[in-house]
């Protein structure tokens, strides 16, 4: 589907809503906005910039983006089934100059720029970020409070194209851990006794593609006497930094290095999608920390929605054509049937305590 400049934010969010139902059913979901700098990615994902953050509940006609709308709709759906309320945790990172920074870390010595982390591949094949901080949330407003705090730390720099240009890729991960019982008589008991599990993190015209072949719900055996299992699902909301033409953006000095890193990481993302669409035996996930971090959702373990943001200006024609080429690659990816993987076990020492 293609959205014109006059389309409302709520109309765009209409394509995201069905994915939230899948998330609550135990499937992993990823929503990603791609496009050139200044084309409306952050507007689509977050809404109009405000130092005060979003006000909840939302007015359906407001210009707030996908991320605050997801927060409100997710907790609305959860409230409709109080017998099995999941534990909700939030992780926020940025990929800046090909390094990963934890925007929820509370280390006082790095309160301004975030804390650098490393992405790794676990023995079972899942990607994770070591020592990543998380916060448990119980409401949409609490979740958006965390997002607003993380955005204050995100790297930004003015350019000739955008006065508030994002210089990093923002990835907000939400994990849901739910007790699933074998019969209705034990549903309430299971939700009441759900243990605090360690969860994982590593894990316009506009056009979009919803992928097929999503990972089946992840089941973790629980107490045999209670016939309980734990289902964990993960939602990743990705606001990519914009691709840039240096001659148009006018960046110099350190900002020039930022632009080079952004363009390289976006090229790596396009290469991964190209390898997947052509069914190559080797997919170059590790050519960039961005693609390594997103490997699970790109490689077939999630329902993936790509939103392509395009500038209508003739001045940006080259970047527009590049963006459309990215969209074509994304649409050509055909992923296989659903596969079930065991939940990655995480040792206590691998994760930073709340």
Cβ count near 223 (within 10 Å): 13
User: Chunked in runs of 10, what are the mean pLDDT values of the chain (354 residues)?
Assistant: 88 93 89 91 87 62 89 94 84 94 74 75 78 92 92 86 86 86 42 36 39 47 52 91 82 86 94 92 94 88 88 85 90 64 41 38
Output the pLDDT for position 48.
Answer: 84
Output the pLDDT for position 172.
Answer: 96
For residue 11, what are its two tokens? 């109309």
Output the pLDDT for position 297.
Answer: 87
For residue 325, what are its two tokens? 């080429």
Output the pLDDT for position 60.
Answer: 65
Output the pLDDT for position 284.
Answer: 95
Cβ count near 151 (within 10 Å): 22
Q: Which domains does the chain have, with CATH numbers?
A: 9-47+60-181+229-341 (3.40.850.10)
pTM of the model: 0.80
How far apart CA 200 and CA 220 sit, in angstroms, is: 14
Annotated binding site for ATP: 35-42
Output the pLDDT for position 162.
Answer: 78
How far apart CA 330 and CA 212 sit, in angstroms, is: 12
Annotated binding site: 35-42
Output the pLDDT for position 292.
Answer: 94
């Amino acid at each position: 589907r293609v959205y014109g400049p006059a389309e409302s934010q709520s109309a765009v969010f209409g394509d995201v809503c069905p994915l939230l139902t899948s998330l609550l059913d135990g499937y992993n979901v990823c929503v990603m906005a791609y496009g050139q700098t200044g084309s409306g990615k952050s507007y689509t994902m977050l809404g109009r910039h405000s130092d005060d953050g979003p006000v909840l509940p939302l007015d359906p006609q407001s210009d707030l983006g996908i991320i605050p709308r997801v927060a409100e709709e997710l907790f609305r759906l959860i409230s409709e089934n109080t017998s099995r309320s999941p534990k909700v945790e939030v992780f926020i990172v940025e990929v800046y100059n090909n390094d990963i920074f934890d925007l929820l870390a509370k280390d006082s010595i790095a309160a301004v720029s975030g804390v650098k982390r490393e992405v790794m591949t676990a023995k079972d094949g899942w990607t994770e970020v070591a020592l990543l901080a998380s916060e448990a949330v119980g409401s949409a407003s609490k979740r958006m409070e965390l997002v607003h705090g993380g955005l204050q730390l995100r790297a930004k720099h003015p350019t000739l194209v955008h006065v508030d240009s994002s210089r990093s890729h923002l990835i907000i991960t939400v994990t849901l851990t739910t007790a699933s019982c074998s019969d209705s008589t034990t549903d309430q008991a299971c939700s009441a006794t759900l243990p605090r599990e360690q969860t994982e993190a590593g894990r316009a015209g506009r056009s979009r593609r919803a992928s097929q072949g999503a990972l089946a719900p992840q089941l973790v055996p629980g107490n045999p006497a209670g016939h309980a299992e734990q289902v964990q699902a993960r939602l990743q909301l990705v606001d990519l930094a914009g691709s840039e033409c240096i001659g148009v953006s006018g960046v110099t000095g350190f900002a020039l290095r930022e632009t080079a890193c952004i363009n390289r990481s976006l090229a790596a993302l396009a290469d991964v999608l190209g390898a997947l669409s052509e069914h190559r035996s080797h997919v170059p996930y590790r050519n960039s920390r961005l693609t390594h971090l997103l490997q699970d959702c790109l490689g077939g373990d999630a329902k993936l929605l790509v939103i392509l943001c395009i500038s209508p200006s003739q001045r940006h024609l080259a970047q527009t054509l590049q963006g459309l080429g990215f969209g074509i690659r994304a649409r050509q990816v055909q992923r296989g049937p659903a596969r079930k993987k065991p939940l990655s076990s995480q040792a206590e020492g691998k994760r930073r305590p709340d």
